[in-house]
Homo-oligomer: A and B are copies of this chain.
Amino acid sequence: MIFELTILGANAAIPAHGRFPTSQVLCINHRYYMIDCGEGAQIQLFRHKIKINKIHAIFISHLHGDHYFGLMGLLNTMNLRGRTEPLYLHAPKGLQEIITLQLKYSHAVLNYSLHFIETNQEKSVFLFEDEKVTVHTIPLLHRIPCCGFLFREKAKDKNLIKEKIPIDLPIAGRIALKKGEDFEHNNQILKNEDYTHLPNKRRSYAFCSDTVYLPSSALIEIIKGVDLLYHEATFTHIHEKRAAQTFHSTGKQAALIAQEARVAKLILGHFSTRYYDLSPLLEEAKEVFPNAALAIEGETFSVEE
């Protein structure tokens, strides 16, 4: 099963150097979840051949424009492309009012239903689930209410040891074993531990943008051990003071969070326009946390099962 993150944009504040503002798509087994939606996100979706009406739900971290100004265009295009499936939109208070107002003045009636779910920026709470994933908020600290998102695959069934399974075992027996139960078959109890392996691990992705450096136990507790951590790294560490003043983080600080939370891989993003060359950001992060990468547009980060 696919579990992969595609970067559509990771520039801070404005599009620059050919880089788009923040937007990305997490794909879990062919279902797409969009995270932030900066201006031009729909252009990037076309460019990277992601069908926009495969997007099942959208998660907006906060209402700074570089994280949501692409949303209205995307919603319109979804409509023009024939969407009828409901769309779930998770965002801070205000987005519903903004979207409703713009739809009103364009006299637009969407052919699909929009469901707004207000996020909570104060504590980590359950936000969303479907059959593939659960999503919780990650409280962050920025100039306006802002939260990240923790995506975690749902608990999976155990894996059958195929060569041991009796050929005539009915489907009910297979299901029971996968669920971790024993099963009686031909007057014999099939003990679960003899016929199954543990399920694959539940893969996870934490998105943290935008935020001041938060080396708090609360944040670390939420994101600890995730397979992928995207953490904003607006500045290099020589601009630590500027980062703090603007409620942003440095490359080094992102790496310290990754190290402390013992994540498997760190992705840096939300690059200040002052950096044409992003390698200094990556280098300072790697000194602390070697398994770090830059959120380059079009790149896909996969997590194996």
Q: What is the interface of chain A, defined by CB distance below 8 A to chain B?
A: 13-16, 39-40, 42-43, 46, 63-66, 69-70, 72-73, 76-77, 80, 92, 94-95, 97-98, 101-102, 104-107, 143-144
Please determine whether B106 and A63 come into contact, CB atoms closer than 8 angstroms.
yes
A67: nearest chain-B partner, CB-CB: B106
Please judge, given known A-B contacts A13-B80, A107-B143, whether A39 and B70 are in contact too, CB under 8 Å.
yes
**Smallest Cβ distance from A246 to chain B, in angstroms?**
12
A69 contact from B13, B15, B64, B72, Cβ within 8 A: B72
- Could you give 21 example pairs across A and B, Cβ below 8 Å? A13-B76, A14-B77, A15-B40, A15-B42, A15-B43, A15-B46, A39-B39, A39-B40, A39-B69, A39-B73, A63-B105, A65-B73, A69-B69, A69-B73, A92-B105, A94-B104, A98-B101, A98-B105, A105-B144, A107-B143, A107-B144
18 A-B pairs besides A65-B106, A94-B104 with CB distance below 8 A are: A13-B76, A13-B77, A14-B73, A15-B40, A15-B42, A15-B43, A39-B42, A39-B70, A63-B105, A64-B106, A65-B76, A69-B72, A92-B105, A94-B105, A98-B101, A101-B101, A105-B144, A107-B143
- Docked complex Cα distance between A104 and B143 (Å): 13
- Docked complex Cα distance between A66 and B79 (Å): 13
Please determine whether B76 and A46 come into contact, CB atoms closer than 8 angstroms.
no
Please determine whether A80 and B144 come into contact, CB atoms closer than 8 angstroms.
no
